[in-house]
Amino acid sequence: MTRAKLPPWLLLLMPAFLILAAVVLVPLLLSLYSSFTPYQLTRPETLWKINFPFNYEKALTDPGFWKAFGRTVLLLTIALNLEMLLGLGLALMVAKVQRGQRTLRTMMMFPMMFSPILVGFMFKFIFNDNVGLVNNALQSMGLASTAIPWLVDGNLALFAIICAEVWMSTSVFAILILAGLFALPQDPLEAAKVDGCTPWQSFRYVTLPFLMPFIYIAMAIRSLDVARAYDIVQVMTGGGPAKRTELLWTMIGRTGYVDARMGYANAMGYIAILLSIAFTVYFFLKLQSARRELGMGD
C-alpha cells in the first residue's frame, strides 16, 4: 500500500497558496458569507442566521445607496481627469527643468507623504465658513461679503473634497508620466521636428500616444483609490450635511462600524466592488489598446 504523493510543483506552491488563502481568501469568503446574514457586531449570534437576499435587495432598492453610488462615480470621474491633466502638465514642466530637477521631483512627492486624515483636517480648516483661509481671503479682498458655506452646499462641498483629493494625489500621475517622458525615445520627436511639426503636433501625435500606457496605469491605480474614498471625505464632511456628500464608503463605514450592521455593510461593499472592477477593467482595456497602437503587443 503506497501513500498518494502530491506532485513536487504543488508542494512547492503550497506555502504561497496557504498564505494567500489565509490573508486574502478567508477574509473575503467570511465577509461574503456575512453579507448573507443580518450580522450585527454587538450581537455575535446573528452571524449564524441566513437572510439572503434581504441585505442585497435592501441595498439595491435604497435610493440613498444609488445616490451615493452616483456621487462616487462623479467624484471619481472629475478627480481622475483633473489629476491626469494637472499631473501631465506638471510632468511636462518638470521634464524641461535642467537644474534642480531631483529636488523638484522630491518636492512634488510631498503631498503623497501626508496621511489622508491630515489632508482632510487641513482642507476642512481651509474651507471652514467662519475661520477658514478661503473665506477670510475672499472677504479681505472684497470678493465676498458673506460667509460662503463651502462644506455645506452640495456642489461647493464636492469641489472642496476634489481640491483635497487633487492636491494629495496629482503627483501620482506626475511621477508616472514623468517616468514615461524619461523613457520616451528621442528619434520620433526629432523626425517630427525635421518634418516641420509644430510643438503642439509633436506633443499630440508623438509624445501623448507614447505616454498613454503610463496614464492608463496611473488611472487604474487612482480609480481604485478614489472608488474607495473614505478618510478625506469622512473628516471634511462625514458624508453630510443632509447626505449631500455621502459616498459609498462613508455610508458603508457608518453602517458597519457605527450602526454595527456588518452584514448589511458587507452586502453594500460587495455591490460597490463592482464599481472598482468596472473601472479597472475599462482602464486595462484602454491600456492594452494603447500598447497595441504603439506596436508593443498585448
Partner 1 sequence: MKGFGAGSVLALVASFGFAPAAMAEGEFAGVTIEAKLIGGQQYEALYSRIADWEKATGATVKIISQKNHFELDKEYKADIAAGTTGWCVGSNHSSFASQYPALFTDLAALVPAESIAGFVPANITAATIDGKLTMLPRAQFDVSALYYQKSLYADPAKAEAWKAKTGKDLAPPETWDEFRDQAIFFADPPNFYGTQYAGKDEAINGRFYELVVANGGKMFNDDMSPAFNSPEGKEALQWFVDLYKAGAVPPGTTNYLWDDLGNGFASGTVALNLDWPGWSGFFNDPSASKVAGNVGVAPAPKGSAGVRTGWSGFHGFSVTESCANKEAAASLVDFLTNEDSQKLESAPGPLPSRTAVWEYVIEQAKDDPYKSEVLAAFQETALTAFPVPPTPYWIESGNLIFPELQAAILGDKTVDQALEDASAAVDDLMRENGVY
Task: Tell the smallest beta-carbon distance from residue 39 to partner 1 (Å).
Answer: 8
Taking Cα atoms as reference points, which of 176, 162, 293, 136 lies closest to residue 237?
162
On whether the CB atoms of residues 83 and 169 are closer than 8 A, the answer is: yes
Select from 4-12, 25-33, 146-154, 183-191 the region that touches partner 1 (CB under 8 A).
146-154
CB closer to partner 1, 90 vs 251: 251
Looking at the Cβ atoms of 237 and 276, the one nearer to partner 1 is: 237
Q: How far is the CB of 276 from partner 1 (least distance, A)?
A: 24
Nearest to 83 by CA among 160, 151, 162: 162
67 near partner 1, judged by CB under 8 A? no
C-alpha cell of residue 172 = 501620482
Strand, coil or helix: what is 151? coil
Query: Would you count residue 129 as binding partner 1 (CB under 8 A)?
Result: yes
Contact 150, 138 (CB under 8 A): no
**Using CB under 8 A, which of the segments 12-20, 36-44, 107-115, 214-222 binds partner 1?**
36-44
Residue 138 as a binder of partner 1 (CB under 8 A): the answer is: no
String marking each residue 214-243 x if it binds partner 1 according to CB under 8 A: -----------------------xx-xxxx
Task: With CA atoms as reference, report the closest residue to 230 among 161, 148, 183, 292.
Answer: 161
Least distance in Å: CB of 145 to partner 1? Answer: 8
Task: List the one residue out of 136, 155, 152 whose CA is nearest residue 144.
Answer: 136
For partner 1, which is the closer residue by CB, 228 or 261?
Answer: 261
Q: How far is CA 203 from the centre of its chain?
A: 27
Element at 90 (helix H, strand E): helix 63-96
What is the identity of the amino acid at 206? V
| CB nearer partner 1, residue 254 or residue 286 | 254
Residues in the chain: 298
Coil vs helix vs strand at 40: strand
Stretch that binds partner 1, among 38-46, 162-170, 192-200, 224-232 (CB under 8 A): 38-46
Site for partner 1 in 256-285 (CB under 8 A): 257-262
Sole binder of partner 1 in the list 61, 98, 106, 130 (CB under 8 A): 130
